[in-house]
Amino acid sequence: MTALTIATQPIAGQKPGTSGLRKKTPVFMGPHYLQNFVQAIFDAIGGAAGKTFVLGGDGRYFNDSAAQIILKMAAANGASRVIVGQGAVLSTPAASHLIRLNKTDGGIIMSASHNPGGPEEDFGVKFNMGNGGPAPEAVTDAMYAITQTIAEYRISDAPDIDLNAVGRVTLDGMVVDVVDSVTDYAALMETLFDFPAIRAMFAGGFRMRFDAMCAVTGPYGTEILENRLGAAPGTVTHGTPLPDFGGMHPDPNPTWAHELMAEMFGADAPDFGAASDGDGDRNMVVGRGIYVSPSDSLAVLAANAHLAPGYARGLAGVARSMPTSAAADRVADALGIGKYETPTGWKFFGNLLDAGKATLCGEESFGTGSDHVREKDGLWAVLLWLNILAVRQQTVAQILAEHWAQFGRNYYSRHDFEAIATDKADAMVAALRASLTTLPGREIEGMQIEAADDFAYTDPVDGSTSARQGVRILFADGSRIVMRLSGTGTEGATLRVYLERYAPGPEGLDRDPQEALAPVIRAAHALADIAGFTGRTTPDVIT
Ligand code: VG1
Ligand code: CO
């Protein structure tokens, strides 16, 4: 068996977005497409020679054959060892954990996360660094630059190896360790949470539904919730990962996780509901008859994390992405701990976590996590909620009501307008940017605009800067509009409009968010002329 050098040519558009490179599956399966990008990854990190990596994916269509290609390329590039999840399957947080646990030089995760999977849907690849976190922009920029000049890649002509059997094999001299996908991750969870307390709660009749959406968290949820914590068999639904996610759109929000929502708002709803996304890093949390907005979830977790053993010493700080509501900031202020505001995407939290500045991080897009790994972690968030529920012995609704009574409520919603023609979306954002200097002082919907800018971030640890991360319009009464275009889609543009309004209480804490936000929503449409530029008046997804 030999390492072959294959001549290739640059392929346009291999630019990683918010979280890795995502394209339609047929594009990824096209000639040299995956190979060029994987070679660019290895070259961007100074080569693979002598290095150890983790490899796994969310199990979507093409996951298995992509894994074989990546392994053969790692071998031909001189890697010494690759740790692979059984069946080439690992949730994103489990991959992050394996990188850290085994002190590897990084890992390759095959996932398009919450994007649908299948022969005609989406596929993706991203690289995580030795800290377990997504490659920072400097590294993804280097990958992209290499894809624009690439002339050859290296790949072994060895036959495929069996990735379904746990154990050690070699591939052209490179060690391949196939490990159980769940075991190490489940063990980590046991170190963070009070499993006996949660087990006692389930034994006392507590009922839960976990919708794995036919994606990667099925086996993790079944092992941890049902086998280790004693939740009733059948607690996990859609628990078998399928290459096309059973046709489901594995994005845990009220629109796509509608089966869970219907159950949680129906008669005989369980006490607690949750869902996760394609690669297991997102979570949606629902109480009986009450939806928990992800921004509120982060704030509640920050206020109560000390109730779980892994966080009993308290938090160093809380970080949130800029579009996430300021609810977590209020908790940080009350606790007297650090608070940080980063651009969208988990890669921006890595330095804060590594430097010990933040312990908990969150995004409004159903992402919450902590310094236990360097990715957001869906099941982790579910387990922290369960731990809090077990200690406080209250319902989700009671916990939220008490939280708002103490801190006030940041009414929050995100409106997504999907599959807009890219030129129209770009024109709208350009016009909005151009208008920013004229906005301060203007009054709209009875609210005074105080400031307007395009969010720019300077990393407090390494000083790196990221500009144009989302337009912000800030009102004197604390309300806020944020608009940005998605960086994870594969078709046209998705406009995300983030809406926020603060109610200090004690009155007015129980309103419907869409109604409470109505003036802010109208202001957003007027200021950006969404209908004029895009022809759209109603969002496709509301979270
Ligand atoms: C979206 C979310 C962002 C998240 C990213 C990756 O990005 O808004 O908060 O970090 O997805 O999550 P964008 O650019 O489409 O808004 V995942 O679970 O898809 O890896
Ligand atoms: Co995800």
Mean pLDDT of 110-125: 95
Q: Is the pLDDT of residue 452 over 80?
A: yes
Question: What is this model's ipTM?
Answer: 0.97
* CA 227 / ligand 2 centre spacing (Å): 24
pLDDT, tens digit, 9 for 90 and up, residues 131-140: 999 999 999 9
Q: How sure is the predictor about 248, in pLDDT bands with cuts at 50, 70 and 90?
A: confident
Q: State the pLDDT at residue 487.
A: 82
Closest CA to 325 of 290, 352, 300: 300
Pocket flag, ligand 1, residue 271 (CB < 6 Å): no
Pocket test for ligand 1, best of 114, 140, 344 (most atoms within 8 A of CB): 344
The pLDDT > 70 percentage for the chain reads 100
- Entry field: residues in the chain: 543
Q: State the pLDDT at residue 24.
A: 96
Q: How sure is the predictor about 19, in pLDDT bands with cuts at 50, 70 and 90?
A: confident
Q: Tell me the domains of the chain and their CATH numbers.
A: 3-179 (3.40.120.10), 185-407 (3.40.120.10), 409-542 (3.30.310.50)
Q: Is the pLDDT of residue 484 over 90?
A: yes
Q: Is the pLDDT of residue 1 over 80?
A: no
Q: State the pLDDT at residue 18.
A: 83
Give first-to-last CA distance, the chain, whole Å.
Answer: 52
Q: State the pLDDT at residue 204.
A: 97
Pocket flag, ligand 1, residue 363 (CB < 6 Å): yes
Mean pLDDT of 345-350: 93
- Give the containing element (helix H, strand E) for 519: helix 518-528
State the amino acid at position 313 in one-letter form: R
In the chain, count of helices (H) and strands (E)?
18, 27
Q: State the pLDDT at residue 49.
A: 97
Q: State the pLDDT at residue 77.
A: 98
What CA–CA distances, in Å, run from 216 to 243, 375, 433, 516? 10, 15, 39, 36
Q: State the pLDDT at residue 525.
A: 97
Q: How sure is the predictor about 368, in pLDDT bands with cuts at 50, 70 and 90?
A: very high
Mean pLDDT of 473-501: 93
Task: Concatenate the DSSP letters of all residues of 461-474 into one string.
Answer: TT--EE----EEEE
State the amino acid at position 324 in one-letter form: T
* CA 376 / ligand 1 centre spacing (Å): 11
pLDDT, tens digit, 9 for 90 and up, residues 268-297: 999 999 999 999 999 999 999 999 999 999
Token duo for residue 296: 């509120």
* CA 91 / ligand 2 centre spacing (Å): 9
The b/e string for 181-215 (b: 16+ C-beta within 10 A; e otherwise) is: bbebbbebbeebbbbebbeebbeeebebbbbbbbb
Q: State the pLDDT at residue 189.
A: 98
- Provide the mean pLDDT of the chain: 96
Pocket flag, ligand 1, residue 283 (CB < 6 Å): no
Q: How sure is the predictor about 489, in pLDDT bands with cuts at 50, 70 and 90?
A: confident
From 19, 91, 96, 113, active-site residue: 113
State the amino acid at position 327 in one-letter form: A
Q: State the pLDDT at residue 491.
A: 82
Q: State the pLDDT at residue 472.
A: 97
pLDDT, tens digit, 9 for 90 and up, residues 500-533: 999 998 999 999 999 999 999 999 999 999 999 9
Strands 290-292 and 443-444: unpaired
Q: Which amino acid residue places its CA nearest to atom 19 of ligand 1?
A: 113
Pocket flag, ligand 1, residue 346 (CB < 6 Å): yes
- Ligand 1 atom nearest to CA at 282: 18
Pocket flag, ligand 1, residue 387 (CB < 6 Å): no
Pocket flag, ligand 1, residue 367 (CB < 6 Å): yes
* CA 84 / ligand 1 centre spacing (Å): 25
Mean pLDDT of 307-321: 98
pLDDT, tens digit, 9 for 90 and up, residues 416-450: 999 999 999 999 999 999 999 999 999 999 999 99
Structural contact between residues 99 and 132, judged by C-beta atoms closer than 8 angstroms: yes
Q: State the pLDDT at residue 135.
A: 95
* CA 344 / ligand 1 centre spacing (Å): 7
Backbone angles phi, psi at 41, to 5 degrees: -60, -50
Q: State the pLDDT at residue 93.
A: 98
Residues 6+ apart with CB under 8 A from 174: 71, 74, 75, 79, 80, 81, 82
Distance CA 104, CA 303 (A): 34
Q: Which amino acid residue places its CA nearest to atom 10 of ligand 1?
A: 345
Q: How sure is the predictor about 193, in pLDDT bands with cuts at 50, 70 and 90?
A: very high
Question: 227-231 — which CB contacts under 8 Å span 24+ positions?
Answer: 228/186, 228/190, 228/195, 228/199, 229/195, 229/198, 229/199, 229/202, 229/386, 230/199, 230/202, 230/203, 231/202
Pocket flag, ligand 1, residue 478 (CB < 6 Å): no
Q: Across the strands, what pairs with 481?
A: 473, 499
Least confidently predicted of 229-238, 244-253, 326-335: 244-253
Pocket flag, ligand 1, residue 39 (CB < 6 Å): no
**Residues within 5 Å of ion ligand 2, judged at the Cβ atom:** 113, 277, 279, 281-282
Residue 113 catalytic? yes
